[in-house]
Amino acid sequence: MSVKNSEGIFGLGFSEADAQLVLLPVPFEATTSYGVGTLEGPENILQASGQVDLYHPTYNEAWKAGIYQLPEDSRIKAWNFEAKKLVDEIRSSAATDKSKAKIDQVNAISKTLTDFIYEQAKERLSENKKFGVIGGDHSAPLGSIRAHLEKFPLMGILHFDAHYDLRESYEGFEQSHASIMYNVLQMKNLKSLTTVAIRDFCEEEATLADSDKRVKSFPAHQLFDWKASGTSWSDICEKIISTLPEQVYISFDVDGLDPTYCPGTGTPVPGGLSYAEASYLLRRLLHAKKKIVGFDLCEVGASEFDGNVGARLLFELSLLCLSSI
Ligand SMILES: [Mn+2]
């Protein structure tokens, strides 16, 4: 292994066999309802990642445990385009009956993708490696979360997002990016879901979040009310971390950050976390000795700046994950 000599993620030249962390790019955004571009997220992050300096004052040389990104599997983009074509036809069609069959087809493609990602994750977890998914839209990690929960039944999820993603379905699509955490909560053995920076949601989602005892919410307005009345970000992070079990899976939708940091994301909402606040919370997980069992990073857009922020966030998530082996 040598440093910064390769086209690999972060310019690292690890083989999969030598890497403790395996990353799967998932260029899929078939049911994206607003902006498009997260399809290019994984490639954009990969391109930007060569610029990230390997030195990190908190995580030291955690990258030396090895980070390897799998090549893009061409089937994923093929599924995306097949489903996207159907979604476009459904949206432009007035004929409900005809749409129903197409909606079923889209749901079947999403299920195929989820099963594929589940198998990919399960294989690496069975080798005692860490596994991360790079979206794509936020429907991407469902299969990986399922595989993690099988291996780590005591884990909780820490979810960064502008949205709850608790819709039972969106436009009939059962695995849309707006439904990922609804689908996750259907996994009845999941112990807890801690959501941070939520600030754009419907009544159905708020009701579900309130009624499911596993959901611990830290919506953006609450975070900023606390800050406005003098509570330090350190104390707020302590409150968030106190809801987490020892084993934590991180699902990071980049739109949990303020759009200043992710202008090209699919559904930007003002009033999110600063990069520094998110980064600080991640470091506090390390200091709290949480075991990060896996993660995903989704909804990163196609601009150069989006790629730059995405690559840095991916690096911090990777180092955090590798620091808690
Ligand atoms: Mn999301």
Domains and CATH numbers, the chain: 9-323 (3.40.800.10)
Quick one: pLDDT at residue 2? 45
Gap from CA of 308 to ligand 1 centroid (Å): 20
Contact call for residues 156 and 192 (beta carbons, < 8 A):
yes
pTM over 0.95: yes
- Helix, strand, coil share of the chain (percent; to 5): 45, 15, 40
SS3 label, residue 211: helix
Gap from CA of 319 to ligand 1 centroid (Å): 22
Gap from CA of 44 to ligand 1 centroid (Å): 19
Q: Is 146 exposed, middle or buried (0-12, 13-18, 19+ CB in 10 A)?
A: buried
Q: With a cut of 50, list the residues of the chain below it in pLDDT.
A: 1-2
SS3 label, residue 31: coil
Gap from CA of 191 to ligand 1 centroid (Å): 20
Contact call for residues 259 and 186 (beta carbons, < 8 A):
no
Gap from CA of 307 to ligand 1 centroid (Å): 18
Gap from CA of 165 to ligand 1 centroid (Å): 6
Quick one: pLDDT at residue 315? 98
> Which tokens sit at 171?
């436009």
Quick one: pLDDT at residue 95? 66
Gap from CA of 234 to ligand 1 centroid (Å): 25
Gap from CA of 255 to ligand 1 centroid (Å): 7
H helix runs in the chain, sequence order: 41-49, 74-91, 96-126, 142-151, 180-185, 203-211, 220-228, 233-241, 275-287, 304-323
